[in-house]
Amino acid sequence: MSELHKFLFDGLPVRGMIVRLTDAWQEILARRASNTATGAYPPAVVELLGEMTAAATLMQANIKFNGALILQIFGDGPVKVAVAESKPDLSLRATAKVMGELPADARLPDMVNVNNKGRCAITLDPKDKLPGTTPYQGVVPLFGDDGEKLGKLSDVLQHYMLQSEQLDTTLVLAADDKVAAGLLIQRLPVKGEGNLEGTADKEHDHDQANEDQIGRNEDYNRISILASSLTRDELLTLDVETILRRLFWEEKLLRFEPQAGMLGPHFACTCGRERVAQMIRGLGEQEAQSILAERGNIEVGCDFCGKQYRFDAVDAAQIFTPVGDRAPGSQVVQ
């Protein structure tokens, strides 16, 4: 069962989280493998998309925000786009578009950053947004401060979190065809969290105080080094209790109730016939008619879950008929 564990380091300005996706991740891979149009993901893409899915879950769980967190990579190599989405109820879905062949040992730059033009976008899409509001989006390149291509997704995201939150963050990510897992360690803001109240330097504006702390907090640095010693193999094969004991046996952890089952990370897709109808409406009537003339019906498959939506000429006519003019009892939604 997929699970998320949150913890604090007692008395220290550091928190942590570990996610282990098993059934939820296998479901995503099984749906892709059974899609006859695409077939299964190549192993290197399994690793990339699994790491993204684990990271999206950690990032969602790490912020107070009522909406979807969408982690996207727009690649300039064989992987054109990869998307992982996590919602506040920890439901998740992911997909990637792959063009052409990939060696099994392809690394991040080989997949998405061949010409150093790939980029990573993090979008926060509020659940109850007012019409006209655009979701917040942060975009970071896939190279470091000196233009060097970053080899790991965790490097890209650590960079993003340092920039966007002014907080040191350590991420360890790993995925194979059974498990997608991640460990996040983050320095807490100087103000705002209960166990740190009163320790902040009152003379400082707290943003400045946070910035001054980057890279300087000894407790965080020690715990970060411990976290970084976790290997890919350990993260994929060991249970959460064993990992935490091995890494932090000298630290005092305050654990929260683990989130698992339907309260934990789980696969869910939010696609629906009405959304596909809207998309067809977006194509315009002329384009829709020309597809109908050519193929007899319009078929749209969901990239996330594989569900197929089919619209025949009558369904399509409904889409382009204003609601008031429709025959009594007719509807576009099934």
Residues making contact with Zn ion (CB under 5 A): 269, 271, 302, 304-305, 307
Give CA–CA dist 195/211, Å, rounded: 20
Output 66 or 308, the one with its CB closest to Zn ion.
308
Taking the complex as a whole, how short is the minimal distance between the CB of residue 59 and Zn ion, in angstroms? 22
Apex CA 44: angle with CA 38 and CA 49, to 5°? Answer: 75
Query: How many CB atoms are closer than 10 A to CB 58?
Result: 27
Taking the complex as a whole, how short is the minimal distance between the CB of residue 88 and Zn ion, in angstroms? 19
Task: Say if CB 102 and CB 59 are below 8 A apart.
Answer: no
Taking the complex as a whole, how short is the minimal distance between the CB of residue 272 and Zn ion, in angstroms? 8
Taking the complex as a whole, how short is the minimal distance between the CB of residue 39 and Zn ion, in angstroms? 18
Output 29 or 106, the one with its CB closest to Zn ion.
29
Tracing tokens 């046996």 back to the chain, one arrives at 249
Burial class (CB in 10 A: 0-12, 13-18, 19+), 70: buried
Written as one string, the DSSP assignment of 229-256 is T--HHHHHHS-HHHHHHHHHTTS-EEEP
Output 87 or 119, the one with its CB closest to Zn ion.
87
Output 98 or 276, the one with its CB closest to Zn ion.
276
Taking the complex as a whole, how short is the minimal distance between the CB of residue 276 and Zn ion, in angstroms? 10
Taking the complex as a whole, how short is the minimal distance between the CB of residue 309 and Zn ion, in angstroms? 9
Give CA–CA dist 92/94, Å, rounded: 7
Query: Between the CA of residue 322 and those of 172, 281, 312, 328, what are the distances in Å?
Result: 52, 11, 18, 13
Query: Which residues sit opposite 139 in a β-bridge?
Result: 121
Output 206 or 307, the one with its CB closest to Zn ion.
307
Task: Retrieve residue 231's tokens.
Answer: 């290997």
Output 9 or 304, the one with its CB closest to Zn ion.
304
Residue 309: what are its φ and ψ, rounded to 5°?
Answer: -115, 130
Query: How does 82-118 read in b/e, with b if 16+ C-beta sit within 10 Å?
Result: bbbbbbeebbbbbbbebeeebeeebebbbbbbeeeeb
Taking the complex as a whole, how short is the minimal distance between the CB of residue 86 and Zn ion, in angstroms? 15
Output 137 or 308, the one with its CB closest to Zn ion.
308
